[in-house]
Amino acid sequence: MLLPLKSCVFSAKTNQVQRPNILCWTFALRTSVAAVISAGQKQIIFILILLLCGLLSWAEAEIIVSHAITLRGEPKYPEGFSHFDYVNPQAPKGGTLTLNSIGTYDNFHRFAQRGVAAAASTSFYDTLLVASEDEVEVYYGLIAKKLEYPEDFKWIIFHINPRAKHQDGKAITADDVVFSFNKFVDQGVPQFKQYYKNVAGVEALDKYRVKFSLKEGDKEMLISLGSLTILPGHYWESRDFTEPLTEIPLGSGAYTVKDYKIGQYVVYERLRNYWAMDIPVNKGQLNFDYIRYDYYRDQTVAFEAFKAGEHDLREENISKNWATLYTGPAFDDGYIVKEEIKHDIPQGMQAFVFNIQRPVFSDPRVRMALNYALDFEWMNENLFYNQYTRTRSYFQNTKYAATGLPGKEELKILKPLKGRIPDEVFTREYQPPVTDGSGNIRSQVRSALKLLKEAGWEIRDRKLINNKTGKSMEFELLMYSPSMERVAIPVQKNMERLGIKMNIRVVDTTQFINRLRSRDFDMISQGYSASFYPSSDLKITWRSDYLDYTYNTAGVQDEAVDMLIDGIVANQDNEQALLHYGRALDRVLTWNHYVIPQWHISMFRVAYWNKFSKPAVRPRYTLGTGTWWIDKNKEKNLPKRKIN
């Protein structure tokens, strides 16, 4: 007689359950046929057909059921873990954390397609999964208590925690997940629909199970779906998701707005009945009863307010301030703590970014020439107190940063692109221009002018003139931070040595965002965010079909870049191939000179009023302020402060 199916079910991985595999069915087939061989040929054939049908139906990818999902490797924390290692599970709750924000805000809807949302307005909502801060791309259940997916990654089922509640106490259901995804597709920013075009459908299997199906298997996309913001469908179904929202929205997260004055301040309050307060991913976190953001017109005013005690904590990103201004009685008496905390977190490409859709910057030789106008060595010595390192890669501080010349495996990727990518990719290691730090850049000026001449420009009466149009080179550098003006001025002066007029324009954050969205700029001081590895998110940043989205800041439309991005997307599960594709992309991007690279520092520079305690272990990949708490004994020793 046939073996029972349950005898073939096994667990091949720790904390993961899998369906029967083809070996079990082969064994069952062989044993069952032997058992009925005496029954006659017709009966045997009939049984064989039945077994083969079962074999075909079950010879599919194994199903993994788990509490976590990771792009590669295994999760650090097992099923049933109590809390992350970098928290204090007994951290006391209470008090107010007061922070600052620069500029203004006019609404509470982070996902609107216009307007400026309040700081931390994403805290209204929770997601299905949440990332650990001491692992790379490992996600654990928040709204979802577990998940299941096949080894071919063609679908994923999220099992919603039956305890999960919206802020009004109504249950979070599979229908809310379906609604949220469709709302983002239909009324969210255009890149959402484009990014998730591989999603074939989403359906509620029952009240607490929701299934996403993909057109093609893609584990990274399954993980990305776990980061979906979950909206209360009964609140958002009658509202236009594209428009700003000035009322306080109903959310699914731990915080809502307690008090506010549009453009001036906003106070978030942690809900007393938040359902997920003590689940493992939140244990020891969400320690502040209130989080307040006060708005200031610029960083200088905000810093003076910090020293006066008007807000609690400040991460400094201006080297001069850190070296010269963090002094005074409050520091001397220990009321304000000043800390430098080293880290090895990947660094982004902070840069002056060219809009290469502008004709003046369409020629890579022009962009390369203008790179000579940034004298980093002089700036580091005279402006930055030697605190910075020059950025030379889009994957700085990771193994994906290209060094030396391309190796054998990279060449297999790059050679088919020869003629469509810069020749230097094959012959030279990319390094930004280097000076002696004296401020004398005559050699750099000569190199720049040679490139500009090749591109059809020449000096006439101390102005750089285009030979075809007869027009001089003039462009605008758009910024929103007045503090960046002091570092832009030396670049501006060096541009003058090349006969170029670079106008510096500082606008408020609202204007900056609007001009960025409409691509109404020549050059901006911004850059590209850091990443632990080359992910599929690079599509949004670099691929041609994302040209109209703000993440493609430089406005790149390049078939060779598209092919490299496609290779990265296709090899998310192949670590060696991803390494080679990542380095190949890094070479092509840097040698195309889409930016003038700036600088980075592998250290947190943080100052805070001495009212906090924190866990013994900091999360490896963040500063970890979300794990801090207010120490009442420390707080009572502080002098009276001008804090709201």
The predicted-structure confidence for 521-555, as pLDDT tens digits, reads as follows 999 998 898 888 999 889 989 999 887 777 889 99
Cβ neighbours, 10 Å, residue 34: 9
pLDDT over threshold 70, residue 167:
yes
Q: Mean per-residue pLDDT for 17-37?
A: 43
Q: What pLDDT does residue 531 have?
A: 84
Q: Give dist(CA 257, CA 247) in Å, integer.
A: 10
Task: Give the bridge partners for 605, in sequence order.
Answer: 340
Helices 559-570 and 575-591, packing angle to 10 deg: 160
Measure the CA–CA gap between 96 and 266, rounded to whole angstroms. Answer: 12
pLDDT, mean of residues 239-268: 97
d(CA 177, CA 157): 11
Question: Is the model's pTM score more than 0.85?
Answer: no
Which residue's entry shows tokens 């484009």?
A: 194
Flag the least confident range among 14-28, 249-263, 457-471, 516-530: 14-28
What is the CB neighbour count within 10 angstroms for residue 257? 18
Please tell me the distance from the alpha carbon of residue 286 to that of residue 628, in angstroms, as a whole number: 9
Read off the pLDDT band of 510 (50, 70, 90). confident
Contact assessment for residue 253 and residue 277, using Cβ atoms and an 8 Å cutoff: no
Mean pLDDT within 321-326: 94
d(CA 529, CA 526) in angstroms, rounded, equals 9
Q: Looking at per-residue confidence, does 56 or 357 come out higher?
A: 357
Sign of CA dihedral 222, 77, 131, 133: negative
Higher pLDDT, 56 or 579: 579
- Domains and their CATH numbers in the chain: 5-60 (no CATH), 68-74+98-236 (3.40.190.10), 298-345+602-635 (no CATH), 349-600 (3.10.105.10)
Backbone angles phi, psi at 131, to 5 degrees: -85, 145
pLDDT (average), residues 170-186:
98
C-alpha to C-alpha distance for 488 and 477, rounded to whole angstroms: 9
Beta strand ranges found along 408-531 (DSSP E): 457-460, 463-466, 474-479, 501-506, 523-528
Who's near 350: CB < 8 A, 6+ residues apart?
A: 391, 526, 527, 597, 598, 599, 600
**Residues with Cβ < 8 Å from 559, sequence gap 6 or more?**
420, 544
Residue 603's closest CA among 303, 300, 306, 347?
Answer: 347
pLDDT band at 45 (very low <50, low <70, confident <90, very high): low
CA distance 395 to 537: 14
389 alpha-carbon distance from chain centroid: 22
Give how far Cα 326 sits from Cα of 70, 102, 472, 606, Å. 41, 19, 44, 10
Q: Is the pLDDT of residue 374 over 90?
A: yes
pLDDT value for 4: 32
Residue 142 CA to its chain's centroid (Å): 19
Nearest-angstrom CA–CA distance, 285 and 265: 24
Average pLDDT over residues 486-495: 96
Question: What are 222's two structure tokens?
Answer: 């399954």
102 closest CA partner among 121, 118, 124: 118
Mean per-residue pLDDT over the chain, rounded: 90
CB atoms within 10 A of CB 382: 13
Confidence (pLDDT) at 509: 85
**Phi, then psi, of 177 in degrees rounded to 5:** -65, -45
Categorise residue 302: left if φ over 0, alpha if ψ from -120 to 50, beta otherwise.
alpha
The yes-or-no verdict on residue 27 having pLDDT over 60 is: no
Enumerate the β-bridge partners of residue 149.
64
Q: Which of 273-287, 462-476, 516-530 has the lowest mean pLDDT?
A: 516-530
- Helix then strand then coil, % of the chain, to nearest 5: 30, 25, 45
CA–CA dist 257, 120 (Å, integer): 11
Residues 292 and 96 sit within 8 Å (Cβ to Cβ): yes
Where b means 16+ CB within 10 Å and e means fewer, 3-30 reads: eeeeebeeeeeebbbbbbbeebbeebbe
CA distance 583 to 595: 18
- Residue 189 pLDDT: 87
Mean pLDDT calculated for residue range 243-252: 96
Q: Which helix (H) or strand (E) holds 101?
A: strand 96-102
Confidence band, pLDDT 50/70/90 cuts, at residue 278: very high
- Give the per-residue pLDDT at 139: 98
pLDDT of residue 41: 56
Enter the tokens of residue 283: 């244990």
Average confidence (pLDDT) over 221-233: 96
In the chain, the amino acid numbered 383 is L
Q: Which of 27-41, 83-97, 354-368, 409-423 has the lowest mean pLDDT?
A: 27-41
Q: Give the pLDDT confidence score for residue 60 in this predicted structure.
A: 58
Q: Is-contact 595 554, C-beta < 8 A?
A: yes
Q: How many CB atoms lie within 10 A of CB 212?
A: 24
Sheet holding 349-354, edge to edge: 501-506, 474-479, 523-528, 349-354, 595-597
Evaluate if residue 68 carries a pLDDT over 90.
yes
Residue with the bigger pLDDT between 37 and 423: it is 423
376: tokens are 């980093």
Q: Is the pLDDT of residue 22 over 70?
A: no
Q: What is the CA radius of gyration of the chain?
A: 28
Q: Look-up: residue for tokens 């991985």?
A: 13
**Which H or E run contains 156?**
strand 155-160
561 Rama class: left (phi>0) / alpha (psi -120 to 50) / beta = alpha
